[in-house]
Amino acid sequence: MANETLTITDNRTGKVYELPIAHGTIHATDLRKIKVNDDDFGMMTYDPAFMNTASCKSTVTYIDGDKGILRYRGYPIEQLAEQSSYLEVTYLLLYGELPTAAQLQQWESEIKQHTYIHENVKKLMEGFRYDAHPMGMFISTVAALSTFYPEANKIFAPEVRQKQILRLIGKVPTIAAFSYRHIKGMPYVYPNNDLSFIQNFLNMMYSIGTPRYEVPAIFEKALNILFILHADHEQNCSTSAMRSVGSSHVDPYSATAAAAAALYGPLHGGANEAVLRMLDHIGTIDQVPAFIEKVKKGEGRLMGFGHRVYKNYDPRAKVIKKLADDVFKVTGVDPKLEIALELERIALSDEYFVKRKLYPNVDFYSGLIYKAMGFPTEFFPVLFAIPRTSGWITHWQEMILDEDQKIARPRQIYLGHDTRDYVDIAKRK
Ligand code: CMC
């Protein structure tokens, strides 16, 4: 490779600096050498929302936003969605390789040993109001797990870390299902470890009395694919929260609760919920053009459209759109699908969206599938959080084992007052 350096001339001083380039980046702290005088702190970059800053090296997930490519550990998302299972993908994310048949069997059985939650966790969940948002319950309950497993703060002990990883993957479906049963006023259903991971989750959600709840095959298939698609997405808002909070060396339950809180917002994992509310608000297909005009005037956003990284069709949205057809063949077509298709048709040909490279993202169609499967709208972000937990802990582990990492501590450009004297309250205007 030719000279892998960057030459910078500081026109304030005329000085020239040569900075090494590695992996297409310069080290931000190298800029600190650029100073006008000895008292100068040195040059920084200003990058609100981390639009162009790599905060870590990672070997987990690769995205090419312009080409619409997503791979976990090198495997294309389309192949994993078609051929793999969610638990196999969790293994792949955490260990970097696909498991052998024996490794997968052992992994599934280990996770199953951690599906139950302490009875006091159940009691804690019972304390929420009848109309509590399930994502609020999920966040708080995951945080509370740290009080049940205080040893979890020994984050540099590999066997302790491994135990919490198993617990987190195993317990989040139970917490999610209990939060659903709570808002429905239904008795909690305990895990049944004779069932598969996905069947068990659906059983905890929907089983009531007799006859025994039989998980529809298409629901198991759909949820398996949706969980795979949502398992990881490199340095998104919630994963960055996981890394940032985890960099203080707090236990993984507290860090996961922080990540889940980041996911809750309508610009991130709350978007699938917001899409359904938007479709409800639009109401009928003839209202779509008027709604699009409002969005173009800046009166609200077209939820489920646009992405910080993808400037092309989100590859996950492609898989989900096809999956929606399969699910609707069994459940019947939701009239909102017509509205969604019309929104997509108009948006993809409208100059406003084309110019800004706004395409459907993972959340545009996922909500319609969740709805067809009987999940209430406010539960959608929780359905995102269950699989994303595996991505969060994969990144958390990668971060704490990375010698380059330290406690996350961004800098600021201070633009406030210079020093001034305290004014007695009686003298203030
Ligand atoms: N509807 C209308 N206009 C939009 C939208 C949208 N959904 N998204 C972006 N824009 C416009 C935005 O107004 C701006 O226009 P202008 O240049 O005239 O000011 C331009 O496109 C660039 O937008 P931005 O806000 O600078 O882009 P961003 O990279 O900061 O935001 C986003 C990414 C996902 C937050 C944003 O596209 C958005 O709010 N989308 C709707 C919410 C959503 O669907 N979120 C789910 C993301 S995928 C799942 C996940 O990872 O959580």
Residue 178 and residue 183: Cα distance in Å, rounded?
9
- Identify whether residues 73 and 95 lie together within a single domain: yes
Indicate the number of domains in the chain: 2
Burial of 10 (0-12, 13-18, 19+ CB in 10 A): middle
Atom of ligand 1 nearest to the CA of 314: 48
Q: For residues 64 and 212, is the Cβ–Cβ distance under 8 A?
A: no
Residues 6+ apart with CB under 8 A from 32: 41, 42, 43, 44
Domain range enclosing 395 = 61-269+384-400
- Identify whether residues 265 and 282 lie together within a single domain: no
- Identify whether residues 116 and 162 lie together within a single domain: yes
Determine which residue's CA is closest to atom 8 belonging to ligand 1.
306
For position 95, what pLDDT does the model report?
98
Residue 260 and residue 268: Cα distance in Å, rounded?
10
Q: For residues 28 and 44, is the Cβ–Cβ distance under 8 A?
A: yes
The answer as to whether 311 is a domain residue is no
Nearest to 168 by CA among 185, 186, 188, 145: 145
Catalytic residue among 233, 307, 314, 334: 307
The answer as to whether 118 is a domain residue is yes
Q: Prior bond to 211 cis, omega within 30?
A: yes
Tokens 């989900």 sit on residue: 320
The answer as to whether 8 is a domain residue is no
- Identify whether residues 195 and 294 lie together within a single domain: no
Burial of 1 (0-12, 13-18, 19+ CB in 10 A): exposed
- Identify whether residues 181 and 206 lie together within a single domain: yes
- Identify whether residues 228 and 287 lie together within a single domain: no
Could you tell me the distance, in angstroms and rounded to a whole number, from the CA of residue 159 to the centre of ligand 1?
Answer: 41
- Identify whether residues 282 and 182 lie together within a single domain: no
Q: What is the CATH number of the domain that holds 243?
A: 1.10.580.10
For position 115, what pLDDT does the model report?
98
For position 202, what pLDDT does the model report?
97
- Identify whether residues 126 and 233 lie together within a single domain: yes
Query: What is the pLDDT tens value at each position of the chain, 429 positions in all?
Result: 568 999 999 999 999 999 999 999 999 999 999 999 999 999 999 999 999 999 999 999 999 999 999 999 999 999 999 999 999 999 999 999 999 999 999 999 999 999 999 999 999 999 999 999 999 999 999 999 999 999 999 999 999 999 999 999 999 999 999 999 999 999 999 999 999 999 999 999 999 986 788 999 999 999 999 999 999 999 999 999 999 999 999 999 999 999 999 999 989 888 888 999 999 999 999 999 999 999 999 999 999 999 989 998 899 999 998 999 899 999 988 888 889 999 999 999 999 999 999 999 988 989 889 999 999 999 999 999 999 999 999 999 999 999 999 999 999 999 999 999 999 999 999
The answer as to whether 204 is a domain residue is yes
- Identify whether residues 225 and 84 lie together within a single domain: yes
Task: Sort strands 69-72 and 5-10 into parallel, antiparallel or unpaired.
Answer: unpaired
The question of whether 133 is a catalytic residue gets the answer no
Paired with 71 in beta bridges are: 62, 76
Q: What is the CATH number of the domain that holds 286?
A: 1.10.230.10
Determine which residue's CA is closest to atom 2 belonging to ligand 1.
301
Q: For residues 189 and 181, is the Cβ–Cβ distance under 8 A?
A: yes
Could you tell me the distance, in angstroms and rounded to a whole number, from the CA of residue 305 to the centre of ligand 1?
Answer: 7
Could you tell me the distance, in angstroms and rounded to a whole number, from the CA of residue 307 to the centre of ligand 1?
Answer: 6
The answer as to whether 93 is a domain residue is yes
Residue 138 and residue 128: Cα distance in Å, rounded?
11
Nearest to 380 by CA among 238, 302, 240, 276: 276
- Identify whether residues 292 and 183 lie together within a single domain: no
The answer as to whether 225 is a domain residue is yes
Catalytic residue among 118, 268, 350, 402: 268
Tokens 């699910």 sit on residue: 327
- Identify whether residues 123 and 184 lie together within a single domain: yes
Residue 285 and residue 149: Cα distance in Å, rounded?
51
The answer as to whether 38 is a domain residue is no
Nearest to 113 by CA among 181, 188, 174: 174
Tokens 């969790």 sit on residue: 90
- Identify whether residues 281 and 261 lie together within a single domain: no
Reading the block at residue 234, the tokens are: 């490199």
The answer as to whether 180 is a domain residue is yes
